[in-house]
Amino acid sequence: MSTLESFVKFEKVDKSYDGEVLVVTDLNLNIPKGEFLTMLGPSGSGKTTTLMMIAGFETPTSGEIYLDGEAISNIPPYKRGIGMVFQNYALFPHMTVNENLAFPLEVRKLNKSDIKDKVAKALSMVELGDFGNRMPLQLSGGQQQRVALARALVFEPRLVLMDEPLGALDKKLREQMQYEIKHIHEQIGITVVYVTHDQGEALTMSNRIAVFNDGIIQQLSTPDILYEKPENAFVAQFIGENNQIKGKVKSINGNMCVITTDRGDEIKAIKINVHAVGDASTVSLRPERVEINSSEKNFENIFDAKVKELIYLGDHIRTRVEVCGNDQFIVKVPNSYKGANLKEGTSVKLSWKASDSRALDLR
């Protein structure tokens, strides 16, 4: 994946449908060739509108979008050379699988021999080589989605856009398709822009993730950085399970600070985007970073807590506790935990490192 130049570039792009409210605001985004970039966010965050502007189905209110160095805002969708995969498959029900895949090649006036070869190659890529003569309704949901993917790839587009393509599939099939799409991307190296509201899907598949909210990218990072180092409270809550404890900044020392809760607990944390003593803040902490009744002494944060609920989830026990005035605090206790037998109502000690807790503003 090249990081030297932008293949897709948004330059100061705004989008409004009514001339008043911006659904995308001052978007500046560079996507290198060969990258798998996911636009992630809740409904109404602007991610799908952004994808539709790349496709040409929506036009920026202001600013410009570039594809491989060429301004494309005034180029119609069919001339952009972009493949698309939608949630509803959008297959022609009256055509066989082969005919569905051949259609975009026939539109481009390829000869029959080339069309046959490219269709066979695309079906092989999605492991449906023997399904060419079937009708879409004779296929399962997962098979139909593979055909839709093959049709998007068959004319060898320079860019593929995917809008919630796995949303209609059941959980197991959805997870299987995530890996298949990821592996196909790795094999052919095509540039992919993917839209989803499923953060697990985004973490699994992407080179980078752009987290949208209110038409603005809140953070653009690799999956590990996004999860481990959220830059604000929205990202921390939206990506993975996350504990939050609210308070105010008591002191700041370099890149560390102390947050005091309403009831007086003092939590040591990394200073992320709080600026002064007295600032309102929320401490962000992942459930798997907390230990219960640990014998280790190298924790800066140790608090008394009470177990409120235990839920067995196979590889871990989801343990809800009350600590620092928060009765919705979650600890993921490994199934192999050898400590005291946890029961609802049990008093325990919670421990975590200052380096695992992040003091964020309340955005």
Per-residue 3-state assignment (H helix, E strand, C coil) for the chain: CCCCCEEEEEEEEEEECCCCCEEEEEEEEEEECCCEEEEECCCCCCHHHHHHHHHCCCCCCEEEEEECCEECCCCCHHHCCEEEEECCCCCCCCCCHHHHHHHHHHHCCCCHHHHHHHHHHHHHHCCCCCCCCCCHHHCCHHHHHHHHHHHHHCCCCCEEEEECCCCCCCHHHHHHHHHHHHHHHHHHCCEEEEEECCHHHHHHHCCEEEEEECCEEEEEECHHHHHHCCCCHHHHHHCCCCEEEEEEEEEEECCEEEEEECCCCEEEEEECCCCCCCCEEEEEECHHHCEECCCCCCCCEEEEEEEEEEEECCCEEEEEEEECCEEEEEEEEECCCCCCCCCCCCEEEEEECHHHCEEECCC
pLDDT in tens, 317-337: 999 999 999 999 999 998 876
Could you tell me which residue, 174 or 209, shows the higher pLDDT? Answer: 209
Residue 1's pLDDT is what? Answer: 42
**Domain 6-233 in CATH 3.10.50.40:** no
pTM, two decimal places:
0.88
Residue 363's pLDDT is what? Answer: 59
Residue 340's pLDDT is what? Answer: 52
Q: What does CATH list as the number for 241-360?
A: 2.40.50.100
**Domain ranges for the chain:** 6-233, 241-360
pLDDT in tens, 34-90: 999 999 999 999 999 999 999 999 999 999 999 999 999 999 998 898 999 887 768
pLDDT over 80 (residue 339): no
pLDDT in tens, 218-272: 999 999 999 999 999 999 999 989 999 999 999 999 999 999 999 999 999 999 9
